[in-house]
Chain A
Amino acid sequence: MYSFTPTEEQQMLLDAVKRYAEGDIRPAAREADEKSELPPELVEKGWELGILQASTPEAYEGFGDYSALTGVLAAEGLAFGDLAVSLGVMTPNLFVLPILLSGTEEQKKELIPPVIEMEWKAYSAALIEPKFDFDPLDLQTTATKKGDSILLDGEKTYVPYAAEAEKLLIYANLDGKTQAFIVDADEEGLTVGEKQKTLGIHAYPLYSLKLEKVKIPASQQLGGPDGHSMDLIQASWQIGLAALALGVAQAAYEYAIEYAKDREVFGVKVAQKQAIAFMLAEMGTDIEATRLLAWEAAWMIDEGKEGAYKQAFLAYYTAVDMVMIITDQAVQILGGHGYIREHPVEMWMRNGRGFSTFTGLAMV
C-alpha cells in the first residue's frame, strides 16, 4: 500500500530537527559562513538529537535499526537550517555507516560504540581526489597488499575535519576495486594539508590529505579480507546528498515565497505577478517531485528492493540539478537583494552548486 505519512517516531524526530534547524542553526549560519568556523557547541547540539544513534542497533550502543528513510527525512530537516552545519553534525556518519552497512561483526563491535556513545568527535572519511573527472569507482589512490599489511598511497581532497580526526575511513583502489580502509589519523605517512577554501560551505572544515606508504594491518580493510561491495555505501551517499539538497532547496523556496509576498512592485506584491508566481510554482513542483523520488529510493534500500541502487542514483542525479535551479531562482526572485549577503539566498546558491562535487560527503 502507498503511504506518504511518516511514522509517529519519525515525526517526533522531525519536529526536534525542525526546532534545532530553525532555533539554533539559522541564527548562527551566516556568521559561521563569514568566519569559516563551525561552532562546536552548535554541532554538539545537533549530534545530541541522536539521528545517527537512532539508525544504529542496540548491539552497537545505538537505539534503533538502520533506516535510510528516517535518515533522508532527518537530513532534509537539518539542511533546511544550513548545509555546512548539517554536514558537520553528520560527519561521523561517514565513518560509522559504511562500517555498519559493510563491516565485519568484529569491526562493528569495536569501532561503532566509541563513536555512538560519546559526544560528537571527528570521525571522518577521505574519498574525493583532486581531479576534475574524479570517479569514486576508479580511484587513483592505491592500496597494495604486502603480507599482512596494506600500503596506501595517493592524494585526497575535501576531507572533513582531517586535522582533528581520530580515525578516518580512507577509500583506495585495490586491484581495480574501490575499498575502504580504517586508518588512525596519526598514522605515519599521513599528512594533513592546509584547510581548503571553497565556493560555498565555508564553515565546514575540509582538508587535503597526502598518503605516502601509509601502512595498516590487512584486517583494517572494511569487511575483512574479502572486502565489500560499494553499492550500498554509494547509494547511501546519493540519497544523503539528495536529502540535503532538498533541505537547501526548501529553505530557498520558502524564503523566496515569503519575500515575494512581502515585496511591493507596481502597486501589488511581486508574488502577484505571474512571472514570479510561475517560477515559485515550478520550484514547488520540482522540489516535491525530487522529494518523492528520494523517499522512494530510501524506502527501496530499506526494503531491499531490486533496483534500489539505480533509484538512489536517479534521485541524486536529479537533486543536483534541482537544488542548483531552485537556489538560483530564489536569488533571482529577490533580485538585487538576493545578491546581497544580508539575505541568505546567495549563500544557499553557493552551497547548492556543491552537490555535484560533494560525492561521499554525506551519508544516511
Chain B
Amino acid sequence: MISFEMPKPLIQTRTVVETVAKNMMRPVSRDMDENEHEIPWAYIEFMHTATKALGSSSMAPDETAKKKKDEDPEKKKRPPINYQRLMVMVEMLSWGDAGIYLCTPGGMLGAAAVSAAGTPEQKKRFLSRFTGKEPVFDAMAMTEPQAGSDTSAIRATAALDEKTNEWVLNGEKIFVTAGNKALVDSKGFIVVWASLDLEAGRAGIRSFVIEADTPGCKVTKFEEKMGIRASDTVSIVLQDCRIPFENILGSPTIEKSTKGYKSAMQTFDATRPIVAASALGVARAALEFVQEKLAEEGVEIRYGLPRQKMSNLEREIIDMETQLRQAWLLTIKALWMADNKQSNGAVASMSKVKAGKVATMITQKAVEIMGPVGYSREFLLEKWFRDAKINDIFEGTGQINLLVVARNILGYRGSQLR
C-alpha cells in the first residue's frame, strides 16, 4: 500500500539530530567557515560518543547486523529502514552545517564501499575501529588529476608482489574528502581506486583499503574551497605503498567482463541519494531562513491562488518549496528501494540530479530574494549558497548523473550513450 508515513524511529532520529544541529553546529558555523581547515573537535567528540552509545559503528547501514536479525524467526520482522534513517540524519546535519557534517566520525563513504564489496573478515577488520575510544574517520580516494567522473581514466596502479603477497600501489589522488582526518588525525582508512592492469580498462579497476600510518601513502595538499570549508579536501600521493593482499575489495583476478567495476559503481546507488539528502538539508536551511525573514516583515505567502493573481515573490517561494519536496520524495524513494533491495539505479541518480539542481537554485534564489541581507556575511545564507554548490558536483556532477539516468531509461550501455 502506498504510504508516506514517516516511521516512528525516523521521527525520533530527526528530533535528536535536530538538537545536535541547532546546538553543536549552527553556533560555530560561521567560525568554522572563516577559519578553514580548523577541525570541529567538539562536534566530532560528541558525535563519536553519541553513536557509540547507540551501538552503531558507522553511519553507513550495518548489513551484517541486519542479517543476524533476519535469521532469527522469533523476532518480529520490521521493514528495513537503515538507509532511510541515514537520509534523515544527513539531511538534518546538513541543515545544521554541511561542512561540519562532512567531519562526522565513523564509517562514511569508505565504510559503504567495504560494506558493499567486502568479505565478512574485511568488514570485521576495517569497520570495528569505529567503535573504539577515539573517533575515527574514513575516506574514498577515487578522483585523479586527469580522472574525475571518468573513472576508466584512472592511472593509479596496484601490482602484486608475489614474494611478499602484498599490493604495491602508485599514483596520485585528489579531492579526497576527509582524507587527512582518515589518515593523519585518526587511525582510519581510505578506500583507493586503482588499476590492476592499465590495458584492461574498466575491467582492471579495483578498490583497496589503505590504513593510516601505511608507509608510502602521504597527504600532500589541502584544497581551499568555495564552501564546505570545515571539511578537509586533500591530495594523496601513493609511492610504492605496500598493503596486505587481503586489502583488496572484490576479486583479484581480471575477468573479461566489467562485472567487478560495475559492482563497485553500484555503491553509488546508495551514496548518491545520501549526497542528495545533504543538498536537501542545505536547501531547507536557506528556504526556512527566507520564510522566517518574510514572516518577520509581515509578508504573507498566499497558497492556492490562481497564477494570474500571484505575486512574483509568491511564485518564487512556492516554486522553491515544491521543488524541495519533490527532490526529497525522489530521495526517500531511492533509499526505500535500497533498503528493500530493489534495483534503484535510475531513481538514485534522479534524486541526485534533482537535489543538486534544486539546492543550487534555492540557495541562489534565496540570496537574490533577501537582497543585502542575503549577500551579507552577517547571516549564514551566503554560506549556504557556497555550500550548496558542491552537491551538484561531488559524487558525480549533475551532468554525469543525468547521463546515468538517460542510460537507465533508454536501456543503453555506456558504449551506446557516451
Interface residues of A (CB under 8 A from B): 1-7, 10, 69, 132-137, 234, 257, 260-261, 271-272, 274, 277-278, 280-282, 284-285, 288-290, 292-293, 295-296, 299-300, 303, 309-311, 313-314, 317-318, 320, 356, 359
Residues of chain B within 8 A (CB-CB) of A295 are: 2, 4
Q: Shortest CB–CB separation between residue A169 and chain B, in angstroms? A: 20
User: Is there contact, CB below 8 Å, between A292 and B309?
Assistant: no
**Of A2, A284, A300, which one neighbours B7 at CB under 8 angstroms?**
A2
- B312 interfacial contact with A, CB 8 Å: no
Complex Cα gap A76–B169 (Å): 55
Give 12 A-B contacts (CB < 8 Å), ordered by A residue.
A1-B7, A2-B336, A257-B410, A271-B410, A281-B353, A284-B350, A285-B330, A289-B354, A295-B4, A299-B3, A303-B5, A317-B318
User: Is there contact, CB below 8 Å, between A3 and B410?
Assistant: no
Name the residue on B nearest A133 (C-beta): B308
Interface residues of B (CB under 8 A from A): 1-7, 79, 81, 84, 303-309, 318-319, 321-323, 325-327, 329-330, 332-333, 336-337, 346-347, 350, 353-354, 399, 402-403, 405-407, 409-410, 412, 416-418
User: Is there contact, CB below 8 Å, between A314 and B336?
Assistant: no
Residues of chain B within 8 A (CB-CB) of A137 are: 304
**Of A2, A132, A134, which one neighbours B3 at CB under 8 angstroms?**
A2
Q: Shortest CB–CB separation between residue A242 and chain B, in angstroms? A: 11
User: Is there contact, CB below 8 Å, between B326 and A277?
Assistant: no
User: Is there contact, CB below 8 Å, between B84 and A2?
Assistant: yes
User: Is there contact, CB below 8 Å, between B333 and A292?
Assistant: yes
Residues of chain A within 8 A (CB-CB) of B306 are: 133-136, 359
Name the residue on A nearest B329 (C-beta): A292
User: Is there contact, CB below 8 Å, between A278 and B7?
Assistant: no
User: Is there contact, CB below 8 Å, between B2 and A290?
Assistant: no
User: Is there contact, CB below 8 Å, between B318 and A3?
Assistant: no
Complex Cα gap A313–B309 (Å): 15
Residues of chain B within 8 A (CB-CB) of A274 are: 403, 406, 417-418
With most chain B CB atoms within 10 A of its CB, the pick from A137, A281, A292, A359 is A281
Other A-B contacts than A133-B308, A274-B417, A277-B407, 12 sampled, CB-CB below 8 A, are A2-B4, A6-B2, A136-B306, A272-B418, A277-B417, A278-B402, A281-B353, A281-B402, A281-B403, A285-B330, A285-B350, A293-B322
Name the residue on B nearest A268 (C-beta): B416
Complex Cα gap A310–B333 (Å): 22
Q: What are the 7 tightest A-B residue pairs by CB atom distance, in nearest-first order?
A: A289-B326, A292-B329, A277-B406, A281-B405, A281-B406, A285-B350, A133-B308
Assuming the contacts A134-B306, A135-B305, asked whether A285 and B403 have C-beta atoms less than 8 A apart, the reply is no
Residues of chain A within 8 A (CB-CB) of B347 are: 288
Q: Shortest CB–CB separation between residue A1 and chain B, in angstroms? A: 5
Name the residue on A nearest B409 (C-beta): A284
Complex Cα gap A299–B410 (Å): 31
Residues of chain B within 8 A (CB-CB) of A300 are: 4
With most chain A CB atoms within 10 A of its CB, the pick from B7, B307, B325 is B325
Residues of chain B within 8 A (CB-CB) of A3 are: 1-3, 336
